[in-house]
Amino acid sequence: MNSLYRTMLFVPGNNPSQLAKSEIYGADSVIFDLEDAVSVNEKDAARDLVTRFMQELRPTTCRVGIRINAQDTPYYEDDVKAMVPLKPDFLRLPKSESAENIKKLDKDIAKYEKKAGIKEGTIKIIATIETALGVYNAFEIASASERVIAIGLGAEDFRTDMHMQRTETGEEILAARNRISLCAHAAHVMPLDYVFSNFKNEEGFRKDVAFGKMLGFTGKSVIHPSQVPIVHEVYTPSDAEIEKAKQVVAAYDEAMAKASGVVSLNGKMIDMPIVLRAKNTLEYARESGKEI
């Protein structure tokens, strides 16, 4: 299992067949959803189904997270209490608006880790930010706990909160995407791009993934298996990018071996940020399974 979080595939927690097939699509992480994908009449049944599935058929080739219900719902406490003993890799908290939301979840996870005999800090947190207030507080949310490994934008709820008109290109949420990416990097956690819900629009989706990568996102939440390979393809460095990165690193290493303070490649100066990006590209390629 690689260390990447390029894709997080949402799987309805009340659908046995989809739970059973969730691992086969090659996503880096699957998220068993107890929130939006489950009606209020099925919350308890979904929680029980996910519990039994995790106990008997937990995926082993990808990370497993659980999207619990928000803290302002009557399902939150039961979700945390039931899910923590299953030892998921992370819990994903919707409607994250403040550092206090994250601190409460941290405290609640710790309580049930202790009861289950799980080492404190084992289960991580991913925060979904879905309101104007949440976007405004993105850095505080991202840095509220050492458990936080990522923050992501819940675009549909954010649009509703902002009274925005939805577009297929997502122009209206650009400022929010920029802020999520900025605050995540500032807090040294992963920025996760939003769900592109029209999975039949492959061309639009591919463009959206590439644009998110350009904005600094390191992964994307997806709702359909067909979206997984597209995200992986876009995020994985191409052969040309890998070759260029290798040349940059080689030129840097040669300059260092000669104790030269000047590094150049093909007549262009190379400074340290370029070298670091090249090394990151090569490391990412390795993690993606490409031979370097």
CB-hemisphere CA count at 13 Å for 207?
Answer: 9
Predicted TM-score (pTM) of the model is: 0.93
- Over residues 12-20, the mean pLDDT reads 96
The pLDDT tens digits for 203-235 are: 999 999 999 999 999 999 999 999 999 999 999
95: pLDDT strictly greater than 90: yes
108: pLDDT strictly greater than 80: yes
pLDDT at residue 279, as a whole number? 94
- Which residue type sits at 145? S
CATH hierarchy code of domain 7-235: 3.20.20.60
Every domain of the chain and the residues it spans: 7-235, 239-287
pLDDT at residue 1, as a whole number? 78
In 3-116, which residue ranges form alpha helices assigned H by DSSP?
Answer: 16-21, 43-57, 76-83, 99-116
57: pLDDT strictly greater than 90: yes
292: pLDDT strictly greater than 90: no
